[in-house]
Amino acid sequence: MKKVAIGVDIGGTSVRLGVVDERGKIVLRENFSTKDYPGRPALLNRLSSGILCLALEARKRQFQITGVGIGAPGPIDVERGFVYFFPNIPGWKNTPLKKILERKFKMKVFVDNDANAMALGEYRFGAGRGSKNMIALTLGTGIGGGIVLGGKLFHGTRFSAAEIGHLKINEDGPLCACGNHGCIEAYIGNGYFVREVQKRLKAKAKSILHEWLREGKELTPKLVQDAARTGDLFSKKMWEEAGSHLGTALAGLVDILNPDRIVIGGGIALGGEMIFGPIRRTIAKKAFPIAARSAKVMPAKLGADAGLVGAAALALT
Amino acid sequence: MKKVAIGVDIGGTSVRLGVVDERGKIVLRENFSTKDYPGRPALLNRLSSGILCLALEARKRQFQITGVGIGAPGPIDVERGFVYFFPNIPGWKNTPLKKILERKFKMKVFVDNDANAMALGEYRFGAGRGSKNMIALTLGTGIGGGIVLGGKLFHGTRFSAAEIGHLKINEDGPLCACGNHGCIEAYIGNGYFVREVQKRLKAKAKSILHEWLREGKELTPKLVQDAARTGDLFSKKMWEEAGSHLGTALAGLVDILNPDRIVIGGGIALGGEMIFGPIRRTIAKKAFPIAARSAKVMPAKLGADAGLVGAAALALT
């Protein structure tokens, strides 16, 4: 009998559900738009029926369901499966999500935050496979992080560990949305990166980007990547700098946690060697030799599915 | 029958041995000078006879010895109890210390580095008691660190975790002995701190220290502490700055590990509120609120005995 778990990846834009097998394969899936179900009762209902349908279909196929795993976009009490709040979805303050769903489905339910779910997904089925101590980060608008130690997600005392984006690499660095200065997110979060490029373009940096923007292209990290690929020196330098800032933060993590794997995903990570090169060089230069040598830096493998597969992995034991 | 372990704290200056009971009390002790036994064979012999004498005395008193724990000043393969080398004691490159001693004594032998032993000592019997996830640091010439997660020393993939002193808080900060810039050790390690005070005094900072130095006093962190206690504004500011730099590094650790306890020992930590005040304020300001609130910052309790007691704790299970 094939063992599967139901994974749910709750996002501010969409909710992704799936039936995932022990090899991390998504055998059934479904999405819906978060905005179509405003308010907690509506979203909870829609979530429940989504889970129910997947469970029925899975049972029809004679799968054995080990439980339901949920990745959620906000701080969670992981032990109780309790949602403190979702910064981008109103109405969820203090929701005992695990309790509600376990009562409804008579199945084991596990809840964790989305960054941890993604990290677990990569660890079990992606770029983290075979490692022992792994750090995962997703570079997007913000930086999400998850830490696996000795094969298990590490949560810390109050489940708020792995806030990697707010490691500070310069006490007088750029202002971050968190109110502090020099957080790594304030260098490499999408918005900051684009703003810095903009600023330097205005200060008359020479770049093909001027031309592209006049043609009506939108300034995104991807556009700067494309420019760098054409050999644009300014764009290359922007990526080199971003990678080297991130490398400084990671060198610190390498010295503290001595991981054997660092997995980096998200839009910016698609830059390949352009960004991974300076990251690796900076870690080699700034971290302790023994620790630097044991930390293999790799791009994430599961892409947009990491959160869903990882959520299921919470329940695949 | 009273359970005890034999602890050995190997230092560059002296070696401390002791019989430690399950409550962390040193019931028998002995010291000798490291320099009196130059070369590995001499030091190993002296170590062995020290352990043997303590073991005989312990058995005479009807104690049950659970094993021997050794804290050693250099990188260790903790699983094999293998010494890679000691930076400050020549001749120990690649020494299978655990194997050598176990063969000799027919007792379980555990070897770890001295900073980890100190951390374990504070965790089991000192300022870390009752915590779950603890970070310990000792501020001296360098900064030693140890991390306890879920009640156990965390070593990382190649036993080199917890190198807290080299977290970088400013990419263009002062040069550290490790060759990098802006490591926290380069702000708050004894030498750096004294040099920075010196530099500013030469640049004509107003301070009572000018007078004291003319009287022949030696410029040490302790002297700057004394000056601050008399109300000397310059000295107060130096401590405030040092504490705030350390606070920045600790805020990063708090965001990453979400510890419930941070224990700080070593000479500089004797400054009390002068240094703990700015450390706590900076963590409160710079770390995530949930994580900042759960991290209690406390001075170490075991003083110079932490290493010895912690070494014994390696064998007290």
The CATH code that applies to domain B3-124+305-315 is: 3.30.420.40
CB contact under 8 A, B163 and A253: no
The whole-angstrom separation of Cα A228 and Cα A234 is 8
Query: Does residue A4 or residue B177 have the better pLDDT?
Result: A4
Strand pairing class (A64-72; A109-113): parallel
Q: How many CB atoms lie within 10 A of CB A244?
A: 19
Per-residue pLDDT, averaged over A242-262, amounts to 97
Per-residue pLDDT, averaged over A270-277, amounts to 91
CB contact under 8 A, A245 and B171: yes
Phi, psi of B178 (to 5 degrees): -75, -5
pLDDT at position A180: 95
Q: Which residues of chain B neighbour A256 with C-beta distances below 8 Å?
A: 147, 161-164, 167, 253, 256-257
Residue-wise pLDDT for A138-167, tens only, equals 998 889 999 999 999 999 999 999 999 999
For A162, nearest residue in chain B (alpha carbons): B256
Q: Which residues of chain A neighbour B161 with C-beta distances below 8 Å?
A: 256-258, 291
The whole-angstrom separation of Cα B171 and Cα A282 is 11
- Model confidence at A267, in pLDDT bands (50, 70, 90)? confident
CA A6 to chain CA centroid, nearest Å = 19
**Residue ranges per structural domain of chain A:** 3-124+305-315, 130-300
pLDDT at position B271: 84
Per-residue pLDDT, averaged over A38-55, amounts to 97
Per-residue pLDDT, averaged over A243-254, amounts to 97
Do B188 and B137 touch, CB atoms closer than 8 A? Answer: no
pLDDT at position B317: 82
Beta bridge partners of B131: none
pLDDT at position A269: 83
Do B5 and B315 touch, CB atoms closer than 8 A? Answer: yes
Instruction: Say if A187 is an interface residue toward chain B (CB within 8 Å).
Output: no
Could you list the pLDDT tens digit for every one of the 317 residues in chain B? 899 999 999 999 999 999 999 999 999 999 999 999 999 999 999 999 999 999 999 999 999 999 999 999 999 999 999 999 999 999 999 999 999 999 999 999 999 999 999 999 999 999 999 999 999 999 988 899 999 999 999 999 999 999 999 999 999 999 999 999 999 999 999 889 999 999 999 999 999 999 999 999 999 999 999 999 999 999 999 999 999 999 999 999 999 999 999 999 988 888 899 999 999 999 999 999 999 999 999 999 999 999 999 999 999 98
What is the distance in angstroms between the Cα of B306 and the nearest Cα belonging to chain A?
A: 21
Quick one: DSSP state of residue A269? G
pLDDT at position B100: 97
Do B29 and B58 touch, CB atoms closer than 8 A? Answer: no
- Model confidence at A309, in pLDDT bands (50, 70, 90)? very high
Tell me, what's the ipTM?
0.94
Identical fold between B3-124+305-315 and B130-300: yes
Q: Which two tokens stand for residue A41?
A: 């009762």
In Å, what is the CA distance from A157 to each residue of B120, B193, B254, B291?
A: 18, 33, 10, 8
pLDDT at position A166: 93
For A176, nearest residue in chain B (alpha carbons): B286
What is the distance in angstroms between the Cα of A66 and the nearest Cα belonging to chain B?
A: 27
The whole-angstrom separation of Cα B133 and Cα A147 is 15
pLDDT at position A270: 81
CB contact under 8 A, B170 and A169: yes
Q: Please, which residues have CB within 8 angstroms of residue B283's CB and are 6 or more apart in sequence?
A: B247, B250, B251, B254, B292, B295, B297
Per-residue pLDDT, averaged over A79-104, amounts to 96
A9, containing H or E segment: strand A3-10
Closest by Cα among A306, A311, A264, A314 to A125: A306
The domain made up of B130-300 is a member of CATH 3.90.226.10: no
Q: Which residues of chain A neighbour B288 with C-beta distances below 8 Å?
A: 160, 163, 166, 178
Closest by Cα among A115, A169, A155, A172 to A138: A115
pLDDT at position A307: 95
Q: Mean pLDDT across chain A, nearest whole number?
A: 96
Q: Which residues of chain A neighbour B248 with C-beta distances below 8 Å?
A: 168, 171
Residue-wise pLDDT for A167-215, tens only, equals 999 999 999 999 999 999 999 998 899 999 999 999 999 999 999 999 9
Q: What percent of chain A has pLDDT over 70?
A: 100
